């Protein structure tokens, strides 16, 4: 089974000791029109529809699983 990208990002944040809130958005990448109207907040934050997106305390974003995993590895909660 292929791990879900959002779960991979969440696990990386947990390993780094971060607490976070998960917001679920509707729609699926491979089903045409299933995202319509369901990802407006993501679009407003990032200009695109894909998740995961990590919103930092300063309202900047880290987009995509790999970028979130990399960010978490370099930003342990113990450092802050």
On whether the CB atoms of residues 72 and 16 are closer than 8 A, the answer is yes
Where are the domains positioned within the chain? 5-74
CA–CA separation, 45 and 53 (whole Å): 9
Strand runs (DSSP E) across the chain, as ranges?
Answer: 53-55, 61-63
Residue 20 has phi, psi (to 5 degrees) of -155, 165
DSSP type of residue 1: -
Q: Is the dihedral of CA 45, 29, 21, 78 positive or negative?
A: negative
5-74 folds as Glutaredoxin (3.40.30)
Tell me the average confidence (pLDDT) per consecutive run of 10 residues in the chain, 80 residues long: 90 96 88 87 94 96 98 85
pTM comes to: 0.87
């Amino acid at each position: 089974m292929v791990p879900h990208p959002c779960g991979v990002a969440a696990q990386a944040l947990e390993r780094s000791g971060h607490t976070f809130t998960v917001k679920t958005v509707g729609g699926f990448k491979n089903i045409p029109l299933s995202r319509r109207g369901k990802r407006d907040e993501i679009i407003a934050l990032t200009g695109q529809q894909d998740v995961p997106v990590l919103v930092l305390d300063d309202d900047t974003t880290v987009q995509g699983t790999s970028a979130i995993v990399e960010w978490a590895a370099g930003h342990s909660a113990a450092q802050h």
